Amino acid sequence: MFALVDCNNFYASCERVFNPNLRDKPVVILSNNDGCVISRSDEAKKFIPMAAPAFKYAADFDRLGIHVFSSNYPLYGDMSERVMNILSQFTPDIEVYSIDEAFLGFEGFHNTDFTLYGKQIKQRIATWTGIPTCVGIASTKALSKVANKIARSFPNETGGVYIIDTEEKRKKALHWLPIEKVWGIGRRLQKRLKVKGCIKASDFVKLDDAWVRNNFSITEWKLHQDLKGIPTLALEDNTTKKAIATTRSFEATYDKIEDIKERVSTFAMSCAEKLRKQGSKCHIIIVTLSSNRHHKNQEHYRATKTITLSIPSNSSLTITKQAVEAVKSIYKEGIHYKRAGVIVTGLVANDSYQLNLFEAESPNHQSLMGVIDRMNAKYKSDKVKIANQDLQHTWKMRQEHLSPRYTTNIQQILKVS
């Protein structure tokens, strides 16, 4: 059996844990630089669409009494870690799927009352963290996702826990679930399936196995089998990422290349640090630049540059140098840039890659990077920078509605009187 445990409206719930006055009130969380809505409480969903630009809905926030918060990622990340640590107490087999949900594997849990077990999971998380959750349990990963949707959609009837443990329940659940709500089925696949008459998930599983295998990818065939109750999708070991990205909106628009180079250097250094932290090196660096698409009276521009390294690297010096060269090649004068990003991919383990007979990165890089990482870890901030970063100015995102970092900053810890 598998379980999918999902935190309800996670970012909003984190804010409510430390501010109980927000309970039953509409709450929205904004993205980096307070750009758009990325999380909503159930009360806010009736009025504010997902990804709504904050500047367009500012008047609605005030008029409807909606509580607005900037993204407090240190707080959310810490609360997520606490939830995942609790889940690991119920089974050693866990796949952290995202910041607010995880799959659990229950191999060998014979004669277990999974309804009771699911309620225990939900209750312990609520008691120890204050975060509300829903739990779906079934014989496969895909069906546990369906069970979770039922638990979330019918909280009064299910109590936030639903088990698909019979063939009758499986058929009924799939007949209820629209095809576009099935986990793993994107827009393109939806269109192809609807041409075949697939309106509900039940229609998808009725398709012939051989036809699905011949006309879709192996991943989609596995999903087809999983929904039929045949365990095909296993828990994944996601301790090592396949790609690392740092993408941010600027605190203001920039048209000078020096400002953009500085920002991209900072993003590239962040990616390099993450590579070293997980013991990886990258073969490919992707740099993106884009203007503000919301400004209709300005020229819109978006460009991407991909650089392939002959030798994989996790050196901040190498990656930032290549990222700056990429900026030089795609920068266009007269454009007001609002966003940039650096993505590193083609990852390999530090001790597992093909050497080059004629090229090699300076061995001093690794020693230098180790010193930088240790100093930044010791002082809990990026005290050590490289020369193409701005050494005098501390860049800060616009976070006009930021709540305290209750659990990660001793100066902002909650005080009880």
Whether pLDDT at 296 is above 90: no
Q: Where residue 408 falls among pLDDT bands split at 50, 70, 90? A: confident
For residues 229-245, average pLDDT? 80
CA distance 213 to 232: 14
CA distance 171 to 211: 21
Which tens digit of pLDDT belongs to each residue from 250-262?
Answer: 877 888 999 899 8
Tell me which of 408 and 123 has the higher pLDDT: 123
Whether pLDDT at 354 is above 80: no
Q: Which of 208-217, 228-237, 367-376, 378-387 has the lowest mean pLDDT?
A: 378-387
Q: What is the pLDDT of residue 388?
A: 64
Q: Residue 296: which of 84, 56, 98 has the closest Cα?
A: 56
Tell me which of 358 and 291 has the higher pLDDT: 291
Q: Where residue 167 falls among pLDDT bands split at 50, 70, 90? A: very high
Q: What is the mean pLDDT of the chain?
A: 87
Which tens digit of pLDDT belongs to each residue from 317-340?
Answer: 899 999 999 999 999 998 999 889
Sign for the CA dihedral angle at 370, 248, 342, 280 comes to: positive
The number of helices, as runs of H, and strands, as runs of E, in the chain is: 15, 12
List, in order, residues 6 or more apart from 229 with CB less than 8 Å away. Answer: 139, 140, 143, 167, 170
For residues 87-114, average pLDDT? 92
Whether pLDDT at 47 is above 90: yes
3-state DSSP helix/strand/coil percent for the chain, to nearest 5? 40, 20, 35
Q: What is the pLDDT of residue 416?
A: 77
Which among 50-54, 242-246, 398-402 has the top mean pLDDT?
50-54
Q: What is the pLDDT of residue 353?
A: 54
Whether pLDDT at 389 is above 80: no
For residues 269-283, average pLDDT? 89
Q: What is the pLDDT of residue 7?
A: 95
Q: What is the pLDDT of residue 114?
A: 95
Q: Is the pTM here over 0.75, yes or no?
A: no
Partners of 28 in the beta sheet? 40, 68
Q: Which of 77-91, 189-203, 350-364, 371-385 has the lowest mean pLDDT?
A: 350-364
CA 125 to chain centre: 21
For residues 82-99, average pLDDT? 92
* Residue where the block lists tokens 């860049």: 395
Q: Where residue 1 falls among pLDDT bands split at 50, 70, 90? A: very high
Q: Which two tokens stand for residue 405?
A: 């970092």
CA dihedral 326, 328, 330, 333 (to 10 degrees): 160
Q: What is the pLDDT of residue 131?
A: 96
Q: What is the pLDDT of residue 33?
A: 76
Q: What is the pLDDT of residue 292?
A: 80
Q: What is the pLDDT of residue 34?
A: 84
111, 105 in Cβ contact below 8 A? no
Which tens digit of pLDDT belongs to each residue from 108-157?
Answer: 898 899 999 999 999 999 999 999 999 999 999 999 999 999 999 999 99
Q: How far lies 95's CA from each of 4, 86, 92, 137, 280, in Å?
A: 10, 13, 10, 14, 21
Which tens digit of pLDDT belongs to each residue from 172-181?
Answer: 999 999 999 9
For residues 296-324, average pLDDT? 88
Q: Which two tokens stand for residue 49?
A: 């669409």
